[in-house]
Structure 1
């Protein structure tokens, strides 16, 4: 399932555009979310299908997408997808992928030369791939005038100083070498820890667990609030079961603690929750219901079904 939609909405003075690289069934929900009760998928089928769950295959439906923010005259990208022509032997969906992501950015009004900031919420393969592109057989920054904001904890964990992800997966070394190291060599990386203010409207803060440096970006402008949560959530069913982490989280209990904290604040402060991988509307309000969280209204972003 491909999505050709690029739609822009205003959150205060910040324009937000969603650019989708790919969308479709990704993995069986039992394996991806082993702690989520099976009945939760069936009981919520009316709204999970088809944007978030394919009941015929029992697979989670996810989107690979970049959020483009235009704030204070600058263009900010949140995460950069999978990229083309990558060696990802451990990830069949990402291995040797070819797509028209830069064309989709262009249709969203984004010139790579005019991108000012690239935010990598963390350093997994599907969040850093278009950091670079191949030029004459060499990986070079895809956004040559941009500052790349990378969590220091992830740069250490996935970089050579910690043996490329502590030597857990060959893909981690490949991801770092083709998508992170080249922007380091170009002098375009800013490592941050704890919190980092991009401008008056945008602030990064840590939300560790999925990876050691997993982060979220908070938007506050003109009374509007949103939080771009990266992989804190992979499916909206986790809003109903926030203690349940995905099998992709390196530290599931720490990820759950970050998820509870961020969702609680989003509910209390009316922040629109914008995950990296939700299909459908792409972003949703979160409400408290006693000691539980429930879903509120979905945003107006086109799901590209």
Structure 2
């Protein structure tokens, strides 16, 4: 069974999945108002129905805790990063994300993944808090943070945003965090069918549409063990209590619910380790059925 190491050799939280070591690269804990805004149906009264959420995933007032981080691992000599957070110094409409200044790159390098050594960046979807460190400022412009990497996104995701009537804040995000990668020839658009797409040994993208049309989860397999990185098909463990709890930014809320129900149903009672893209520490666990809903253990 995949096992956690809350310190790891480098002091970075990590989990063993077969012969893979998956490291959590912290960016920032999201402020308390994030939970009520993002998941408005998860009121304190709803949170109180799941005492197991406290104290790690919700505070004693029933306010959800969320975080921004990436996951990094090495497979067959390939160094992989899943999602790139909010980023530093970016102009953002959300005050909590505007001109952020964190030690993310220092933590990434300290975990053994210096930017120039990263070979593959997987973008679960093209939202602001998942693509920010795609680029960094060189003083004059935004340039790819990982200059030797292949940045992978689902083609369905790219095609949707290419045809969308985006508001200015989202256009700004594409200008500073997505377009420079595409212009540098580093963006690789992958067709992800229902059964998924293998993009590296033991690494498969699984379609999880609803939050965005082309969102993917990332499945890791090694020596008979399995882990799944959620992306935003599950923002927070409270959605295991009630998979109908949707995000205010889901593009297709009904599809997002069906996707979440499918994913949770497939994981319940299995040995698959679930790694939440926004779950605060302890971040990972196993899904178990609890009555007509689920919980994270």
Residue of structure 2 in register with 1:54 after alignment:
59
SS, match of residue 29 in structure 2? strand
Deviation at 1:99, TM superposition (A): 1.3
Alignment of 1:92-103 (within 5 A): 92-103=95-106
Aligned partners of 1:77 and 1:278: how far apart in 2? 17
List structure 1 runs of 4+ shifted beyond 4 angstroms. none
1 or 2, which has the higher strand percentage?
1
Match of 1:114 among 109, 114, 117: 117
Match of 2:132 among 129, 132, 147: 129
Match of 1:193 among 177, 187, 191: 191
Question: Is 1:205–2:192 an aligned residue pair?
Answer: no
Deviation at 1:13, TM superposition (A): 1.6
Aligned partners of 1:283 and 1:149: how far apart in 2? 24
Residue of structure 1 in register with 2:179 after alignment:
181
Alignment of 1:150-169 (within 5 A): 150-159=153-162, 162=163, 165-167=164-166, 169=167
Residue of structure 2 in register with 1:234 after alignment:
235
Higher mean Cα deviation, 4-13 or 121-130?
4-13
Deviation at 1:117, TM superposition (A): 0.3
Residue of structure 2 in register with 1:302 after alignment:
none
Conserved 8 A contact 1:7-1:108? no
Deviation at 1:273, TM superposition (A): 1.1
Conserved 8 A contact 1:61-1:279? yes
Aligned length: 286
Match of 2:147 among 144, 164, 167: 144
Residue of structure 1 in register with 2:294 after alignment:
293
Conserved 8 A contact 1:20-1:65? yes
Residue of structure 2 in register with 1:300 after alignment:
none
Conserved 8 A contact 2:135-2:177? yes
Length-normalised TM-score, structure 2: 0.90
Residue of structure 1 in register with 2:15 after alignment:
9
Residue of structure 1 in register with 2:5 after alignment:
none
Conserved 8 A contact 2:34-2:66? no
Residue of structure 2 in register with 1:299 after alignment:
none
Pair 1:136–1:94, CA change in 2 (3 A): same
Conserved 8 A contact 1:5-1:19? no
Residue of structure 1 in register with 2:84 after alignment:
80
Conserved 8 A contact 1:158-1:176? no
Pair 1:289–1:48, CA change in 2 (3 A): closer
Residue of structure 1 in register with 2:249 after alignment:
248
- Structure 2 residue runs of 5 or longer lacking an equivalent are 1-9
Aligned partners of 1:268 and 1:51: how far apart in 2? 22
Conserved 8 A contact 2:227-2:275? yes
Aligned partners of 2:242 and 2:27: how far apart in 1? 28
Aligned partners of 1:274 and 1:177: how far apart in 2? 30
Question: Is 1:22–2:23 an aligned residue pair?
Answer: no
Length-normalised TM-score, structure 1: 0.87
Conserved 8 A contact 1:227-1:272? yes
Higher mean Cα deviation, 284-293 or 218-227?
284-293
Deviation at 1:270, TM superposition (A): 2.6
SS, match of residue 230 in structure 2? strand
Residue of structure 1 in register with 2:3 after alignment:
none
Residue of structure 1 in register with 2:4 after alignment:
none
Pair 1:31–1:179, CA change in 2 (3 A): closer
- Structure 1 residue runs of 5 or longer lacking an equivalent are 297-305
SS, match of residue 19 in structure 1? strand
